[in-house]
């Protein structure tokens, strides 16, 4: 396999990747980071959603300049195929026969209409593992629903508890549901491969991003199941901990996060503050009292934190055994020495964006670590390798497929 290090944990596997954007792109990225040969399939008529848009107005090759694609596309190969062309089916079938798994996040029915659903593909490879990630699953009353990440957190109930109790729902407004579903997809695919390796039988994994996102609300579900109280937005307020929240510090938009979970931690906090008179108020004598009067407590604590830079306030509190951390901006994360030591962000140069920084690999395996071996591919960059070297198309056959529009 080109560019693949067999010694890496997933170096023996080849995955065909139909995924697009974050939910569809991240599973293949995680597999490729750990050594799998991931072959991304797209076409110039239907580019990956993360390629679309022009971050630099008027610049050439806008599809190659999107930083978001450079993160989820790293370590992958890229081929261009029009899956609506009949001649594409046999070519993809030959690729499936040489692969271990297929990942896709089309709407249910798209691949079936192209003759590329699991039942069709497994004729080329009976041991094939296929993961289909869709909004609401492959069957059910809402299976044809197509939504984006903000709608996913709304459907899953996440948005219903996001806010400050003022009647306005803040909402997530990020790809939280996408990233959650992507992680589940990797676990499901690896589990199915493990089963295949033991039994010789492949399988089709039906994964709903809606359901995956809903599992992240376990505490809220449990609260409702036990009490029948519907959880509401409550900002940073915590039912058992006070103080608990983000507190303004010295400087422009600087904050420190503080959480006190026991009487010992409360006493430690009081010592750091210099045991001011207000800490002896009967309203703050017990954990229950502190929660009941959390608003007043927050006002007192904010007067202290506002006199310190966020890093200094966090350092003083942690030194006394109080859970605290600065609320870091993205710029501060890039410069953070701990993040640098652990390679949370890594430089991965790209011909169109020199000096680009992408997120690293968050898990650190002592014997078989992954690696950022290759920048994100250009559109169709590996057509020659996949179709000529791997599948054995002659130059004439390859040229004919290009002329027919199957490879484009």
3-state secondary structure (DSSP) of residue 89: helix
Q: What is the pLDDT of residue 83?
A: 92
- DSSP assignment letter at 407: B
- DSSP assignment letter at 40: E
- The burial class, CB within 10 Å (0-12 / 13-18 / 19+), for 327 is middle
Q: Are residues 357 and 304 in the same domain?
A: no
Q: What total number of domains does the chain contain?
A: 2
- Global pTM reads 0.91
Q: What is the CATH number of the domain that holds 169?
A: 3.40.50.10540
In a domain, 8, yes or no: no
Q: What is the pLDDT of residue 58?
A: 61
Q: What is the pLDDT of residue 76?
A: 98
- Domain finish residue from 333, 364, 385: 333
In a domain, 4, yes or no: no
- Enumerate the β-bridge partners of residue 148: none
DSSP 299-322: HHHHHHHTTS-HHHHHHHHHHTT-
Q: Are residues 168 and 272 in the same domain?
A: no
In a domain, 1, yes or no: no
Q: Are residues 164 and 270 in the same domain?
A: no
Nearest alpha carbon to residue 111 among 37, 36, 206, 212: 206
Q: What is the pLDDT of residue 1?
A: 41
In a domain, 226, yes or no: no
Q: What is the pLDDT of residue 56?
A: 54
- The burial class, CB within 10 Å (0-12 / 13-18 / 19+), for 165 is exposed
Residues 128/92, Cβ–Cβ less than 8 Å: no
pLDDT tens for the 408 residues of the chain, in order: 444 455 799 999 999 999 999 999 999 999 999 999 999 999 999 999 999 876 555 678 999 999 999 999 999 999 999 999 988 999 999 999 999 999 999 999 999 999 999 999 999 999 999 999 999 999 999 999 988 878 888 888 888 888 887 778 887 878 889 999 999 999 999 999 999 999 999 999 999 999 999 998 888 888 888 999 898 888 899 999 999 999 999 999 999 999 999 999 999 999 999 999 999 999 999 999 999 999 999 999 999 999 999 999 999 999 999 999 999 998 898 889 999 999 999 999 899 988 889 999 999 999 999 999 999 999 999 999 999 999 999 999 999 999 999 998
For the chain, the first-to-last Cα distance in angstroms comes to: 23
CA dist 355 and 335 (Å) reads: 15
In a domain, 57, yes or no: yes
Q: How many residues does the chain have?
A: 408
Domain that holds residue 308: 244-333
Q: Are residues 75 and 169 in the same domain?
A: yes
- Pairs from 355-364 (Cβ < 8 Å, separation ≥ 24): 356/67, 356/70, 358/67, 358/70, 358/71, 358/74, 359/71, 361/33
Q: What is the CATH number of the domain that holds 288?
A: 3.30.1540.10
Residues 315/272, Cβ–Cβ less than 8 Å: no
Query: Using omega within 30 degrees of 0 as the cis cutoff, is the peptide bond preceding 206 cis?
Result: no
Q: Are residues 102 and 66 in the same domain?
A: yes
- Domain finish residue from 289, 315, 333: 333
Q: Are residues 78 and 128 in the same domain?
A: yes
46 token code pair = 């239907």
In a domain, 178, yes or no: yes
353 token code pair = 């964006």
Distances (CA, A) of 361 to 30, 51, 65, 364, 391: 8, 22, 22, 7, 31
Q: What is the pLDDT of residue 269?
A: 98
Q: What is the pLDDT of residue 55?
A: 56
């Amino acid at each position: 396999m080109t560019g693949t290090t067999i010694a890496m944990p997933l170096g023996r596997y080849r995955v065909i990747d139909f995924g697009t954007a974050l939910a569809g792109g991240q599973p293949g990225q995680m597999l490729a980071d750990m050594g799998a040969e991931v072959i991304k399939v797209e076409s110039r008529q239907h580019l990956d959603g993360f390629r679309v848009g022009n971050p630099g107005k008027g610049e050439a090759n806008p599809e190659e300049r999107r930083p978001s694609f450079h993160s989820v596309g790293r370590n992958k190969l890229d081929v261009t195929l029009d899956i609506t062309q009949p001649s594409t089916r046999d070519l993809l079938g030959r690729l499936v026969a040489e692969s271990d798994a297929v990942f896709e996040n089309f709407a249910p029915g798209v691949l079936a209409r192209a003759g590329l659903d699991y039942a069709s593909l497994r004729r080329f490879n009976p041991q094939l593992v296929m993961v289909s990630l869709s909004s609401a699953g492959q069957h059910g009353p809402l299976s044809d629903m197509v939504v984006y990440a903000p709608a996913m957190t709304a459907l899953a109930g996440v948005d219903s508890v996001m806010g400050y109790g003022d009647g306005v729902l803040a909402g997530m407004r990020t790809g939280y549901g996408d990233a959650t579903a992507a992680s589940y997809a990797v676990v499901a695919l690896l589990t199915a491969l493990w089963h295949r390796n033991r039994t010789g039988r492949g399988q089709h994994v039906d994964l709903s991003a809606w359901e995956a996102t809903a599992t992240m609300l376990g505490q809220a579900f449990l609260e409702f199941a036990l009490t029948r109280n519907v959880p509401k937005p409550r900002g940073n307020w915590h039912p058992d901990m006070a103080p608990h929240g983000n507190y303004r510090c010295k400087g422009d938009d600087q904050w420190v996060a503080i959480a006190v979970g026991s009487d010992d931690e409360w006493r430690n906090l009081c010592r750091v503050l210099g045991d001011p008179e207000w800490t002896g108020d009967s309203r703050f004598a017990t954990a229950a009292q502190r929660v009941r009067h959390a608003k007043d407590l927050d006002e007192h604590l904010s007067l202290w934190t506002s006199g310190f830079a966020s890093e200094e306030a966090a350092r003083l509190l942690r030194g006394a055994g109080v859970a605290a951390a600065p609320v870091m901006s993205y710029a501060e994360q890039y410069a953070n020495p701990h993040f640098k030591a652990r390679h949370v962000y890594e430089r991965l140069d790209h011909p169109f964006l020199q000096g680009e920084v992408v997120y690293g690999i968050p898990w650190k395996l002592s014997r078989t670590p992954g690696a950022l071996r290759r920048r994100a591919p250009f559109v169709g960059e590996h057509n020659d390798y996949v179709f000529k070297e791997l599948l054995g198309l002659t130059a004439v056959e390859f040229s004919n497929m290009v002329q027919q529009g199957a490879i484009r």
